[in-house]
Amino acid sequence: MMQKMLEIADEIVFAKTGKHLDDLQQAIIRGTLQGKRYIDIAAENNFAEKHVKDAGRKLWKILSDILEENISKSNLKATFEKIYTYNSPDSDVIQANFNSNYFNSINFCTTPYPDGIIRRSQHEQQVQAREDLNEAPRRENIYGRMDELEALEKEILKTESPLVTLLGAGGIGKTTLAVKLVAAIKSKFDFIIWRSLSTLPTLEETITNIVDFISHPETTDRNNLDLLKHYLRKYRCLIIIDDVQTIFMEGKLPGTYKSGYENYGSWFKNLGEVSHRSCLLLLSREEPRETALLSNCFSSRLSGLGVCARKILKEKGLSGQKQWDRLIEIYKGNPLYLKIVAKAIEDLFSGEVNDFLNYSQSFLIHDIYLILKEQLQRLSPSEINLIQLLAEQNKTVSLTELKKVKSVDLVRDVESLKRRSLLETQSLNGEIWFHLDPLVKEFAKVQENDV
């Protein structure tokens, strides 16, 4: 309930001001809902009491303006509880009981997309966005990612980039972030459509499906590709295509289309080139070649969660806090890996991270091994060869050293592995150094021993 209330607060503030709550504002709301005093909130968050009080006063002012009701530290909890109850699906509260102004203009709900909450007041009424989010997953807790969220919002809303890619390793949080993004910005669009390519639909199927949603039951002689272009000009649409990597081939360089799917590439490119009012957001582990070359495609790559991942470990109730950062480092802040490993630590080491780090034979626990296996199956033989060479070394390898053992296709394979988030390079003292993902290194060693 606390998380939901925070989300509601964040979303109403964002919808009105275009800015998310910062960490201090979140701490003030959380603390206030828990009945804490400013002095306690200040101490817990390492701020001076005065600073927290000032920030609190500003926050109550913002909320009061938005909700058109006087909000203060003393009535925040009661007000939010009213909002929460009012929106609960099984609530039988009658609207007339809460006759405040804001209930006339705002409709709160507890669907998986609480951001649908803002229904515009009469004077700023817009066309209500029509959304098809059936293929999007349920919204889950999300930690961190504020900077990434803001960068994406800016690109999509301010710069109005026609094509945006969100790239990153499996489990890093692309889908989760996109769900949050959609929730935050959907009020700015006429149509929101989420499609996944995981079932390998052809381009024709995908386009027909999107056109049917936008236009039904309109009939026309024009072909669907042209019709969709027409709609993307006429309306402001946000189309999210998830799991784009599924249409790329295994065993080839990243971004090589499976046979019969090459036309997706031309479609992506075309939408990046022709003028329209809409945005196509692609989520993928591998970057499509066409988008990599387009100047007006905004491309962002997600890396690990860093210290924010501690919240996942906390949520899972692990102990041994001093070693949490070490655990996050081993799993490179990948939230999926951390969720899997947290479950294993809970089951096998009673939740004690120290014991896991000291006594576990391997960090490549089975479920993570399976995910990596699926990911590494996608590599070309030449990329596998490079991984094996790097895994054999017990130290960080430099470019000069590597050139001696692998002369063919070295640059190409390094680039590919970087694009797959499996390899990092660092420039130091005029030399380039390679850092292979430690789990990939362990994986390569296990494979070698199995042969």
Residues making contact with ligand ADP (CB under 6 A): 140-145, 168, 170-176, 305, 312, 335-336, 339
Cα-based distances in Å from 398 to 59, 105, 393, 434, 441: 52, 61, 11, 6, 16
Contacts of 82 (CB under 8 A, 6+ apart): 98
Q: Tell whether residue 196 is a contact of Mg ion (CB under 5 A).
A: no
Tell me whether residue 145 or residue 441 sits nearer to ligand ADP (CB atom). 145
Binder of residue 431, out of Mg ion, ligand ADP, none (CB less than 5 to 8 A by kind)? none
Provide the token pair at 203: 């381009």
Q: Tell whether residue 291 is a contact of Mg ion (CB under 5 A).
A: no
Measured from each CB, the residue nearest to Mg ion is 175
Cα–Cα distance, 268 to 102 (Å, whole number): 42
Least separation, in Å, of the C-beta of 178 and Mg ion? 8
- How are beta strands 130-132 and 237-242 bridged, if at all? unpaired
Tell me whether residue 110 or residue 175 sits nearer to Mg ion (CB atom). 175
Cα-based distances in Å from 25 to 11, 19, 244, 253: 13, 12, 37, 46
Binder of residue 341, out of ligand ADP, Mg ion, none (CB less than 5 to 8 A by kind)? none
Cα–Cα distance, 171 to 336 (Å, whole number): 5
Residues 309 and 333: beta-carbon distance below 8 Å: yes
Least separation, in Å, of the C-beta of 283 and Mg ion? 6
* Residues of span 159-178 touching Mg ion by CB under 5 A: 175
Residues 279 and 238: beta-carbon distance below 8 Å: yes
Measured from each CB, the residue nearest to ligand ADP is 173
Residues 433 and 426: beta-carbon distance below 8 Å: yes
Tell me whether residue 165 or residue 380 sits nearer to Mg ion (CB atom). 165
Tell me whether residue 306 or residue 438 sits nearer to ligand ADP (CB atom). 306
Least separation, in Å, of the C-beta of 334 and ligand ADP? 8
Tell me whether residue 108 or residue 337 sits nearer to ligand ADP (CB atom). 337
Provide the token pair at 61: 């002012």
Binder of residue 304, out of Mg ion, ligand ADP, none (CB less than 5 to 8 A by kind)? none
Least separation, in Å, of the C-beta of 197 and ligand ADP? 13
Tell me whether residue 283 or residue 390 sits nearer to ligand ADP (CB atom). 283
Q: Could you count the other beta carbons within 10 Å of the beta carbon of residue 313?
A: 24
Binder of residue 116, out of Mg ion, ligand ADP, none (CB less than 5 to 8 A by kind)? none
Binder of residue 171, out of ligand ADP, Mg ion, none (CB less than 5 to 8 A by kind)? ligand ADP
Cα-based distances in Å from 411 to 78, 163, 326, 378: 61, 28, 31, 19
Tell me whether residue 303 or residue 393 sits nearer to ligand ADP (CB atom). 303
| HSE-up of residue 59 (Cα within 13 Å, Cβ side) | 23
Binder of residue 272, out of Mg ion, ligand ADP, none (CB less than 5 to 8 A by kind)? none
Least separation, in Å, of the C-beta of 253 and Mg ion? 22
Least separation, in Å, of the C-beta of 288 and ligand ADP? 16
Contacts of 28 (CB under 8 A, 6+ apart): 41, 52, 55, 56, 59
Least separation, in Å, of the C-beta of 175 and Mg ion? 3
Compute, in degrees rounded to 10, the torsion defined by CA atoms 262, 264, 269, 274. Answer: 130
Tell me whether residue 140 or residue 262 sits nearer to ligand ADP (CB atom). 140
- Residues forming the site for Mg ion (CB under 5 A): 175
